[in-house]
């Protein structure tokens, strides 16, 4: 009985690791589109900075929403949620999240699941990076010294919002991806996912304020399909 249970546990673990497999993509298709703001875009909130103004400046417009004149939203992650096989997972094994000038650099980034994230502090002040997923803490790292780097393995997939507990105007996000079909929108809200095997998939968007929104898309062999979405605060 114990042997059977052990085999079952090992099988489940193997299946969990094998959720996405790399394989040659024949006649792959392309998904492209644009993510726009739903309604009238919010006016940027301007805050006065009292904590470490020598490094952070004395005032700032919060950058959680970056919206083009035509309504396109920058820094939205668009991803396929349920694809099981496809192109090579080519995200870096040791991505870097820097805290520089009291900004997250990059503001939004995609990280492969189980990658070792290098959390760096380039500022000569204390930062405390805090990330949340659906209200739950994922990262909570204090870095009091300039040049500090703390490595964290990113095991939990999905989108996370970022903030600094010392400087509440520091905002950002990251997305831990189970597969390589994830991309960040450009300054006009546009994106493109290439080499997608033919099929029907759940497609999602993640934004640090708007959260997650899901849809469905069918990709024809060797063809192109458009998926647009609207998000709001």
Tokens of 73: 């939203």
Task: Note the pLDDT tens digit of each residue in 162-207.
Answer: 999 999 999 999 999 999 999 999 999 999 999 999 999 999 999 9
Q: In which domain, by residue range, is 121 found?
A: 2-231
Peptide bond preceding 81 in cis form (omega within 30 of 0): no
pLDDT in tens, 24-42: 999 999 999 999 999 999 9
Q: How confident is the model at residue 1 (pLDDT cuts 50, 70, 90)?
A: very low
pLDDT digits (tens, 9 = 90+) for 106-154: 999 999 999 999 999 999 999 999 999 988 999 999 999 999 999 999 9
Confidence class for position 19, pLDDT limits 50, 70, 90: confident
Tokens of 135: 């209200």
- Number of domains making up the chain: 1
76: confidence class by pLDDT, cuts 50, 70, 90: very high
Question: What are the CB-based long-range contacts (under 8 Å, 24+) for 190-194?
Answer: 190/32, 190/33, 190/34, 190/72, 191/32, 191/33, 191/34, 191/35, 191/76, 191/78, 192/30, 192/31, 192/32, 193/30, 193/31, 193/32, 193/78, 193/80, 194/28, 194/30
- The residue behind tokens 């546009």 is 190
pTM over 0.85? The answer is yes
pLDDT the model gives residue 164: 97
Q: Report DSSP letters for 122-172, one per residue.
A: -SSS-EEEEEEETTEEEEEEEE-STT-EEEEE--S-EEEEEEESS-TT-EE
Nearest to 196 by CA among 157, 158, 225: 225
What CATH number is associated with residue 173?
A: 2.60.40.420
Q: State the DSSP string of 50-96.
A: -SSHHHH-SEEE--S--B-TTSBBSS-EEEESS--EES---S-SS-E
């Amino acid at each position: 009985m114990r042997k059977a249970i052990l085999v079952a546990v090992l099988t489940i673990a193997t299946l969990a690791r094998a959720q996405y497999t790399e394989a040659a993509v024949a006649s792959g298709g392309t998904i492209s589109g644009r993510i726009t703001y739903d309604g009238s875009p919010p006016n940027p909130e301007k805050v006065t900075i009292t904590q470490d103004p020598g490094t952070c400046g004395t005032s700032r417009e919060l950058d959680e929403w970056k919206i083009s004149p035509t309504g396109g939203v920058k820094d939205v992650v668009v991803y396929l949620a349920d694809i099981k096989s496809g192109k090579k997972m080519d995200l870096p094994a040791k991505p870097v999240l820097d805290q520089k000038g009291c900004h997250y650099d990059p503001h939004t980034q995609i990280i492969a699941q189980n990658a070792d994230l290098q959390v760096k502090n380039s500022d000569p002040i204390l930062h405390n990076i805090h990330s949340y997923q659906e209200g739950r803490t994922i990262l909570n790292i204090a870095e009091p010294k300039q040049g500090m780097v703390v490595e964290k393995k990113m095991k939990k997939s999905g989108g996370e919002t970022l903030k600094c507990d010392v400087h509440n105007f520091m905002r950002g996000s990251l997305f831990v991806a189970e597969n390589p079909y994830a991309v960040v929108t450009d300054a006009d809200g546009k994106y493109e996912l290439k080499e997608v095997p033919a099929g029907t998939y759940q497609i999602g968007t993640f934004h640090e304020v708007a959260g997650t929104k899901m849809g469905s898309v069918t990709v024809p062999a060797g063809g192109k399909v458009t998926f647009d979405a609207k998000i709001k605060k």
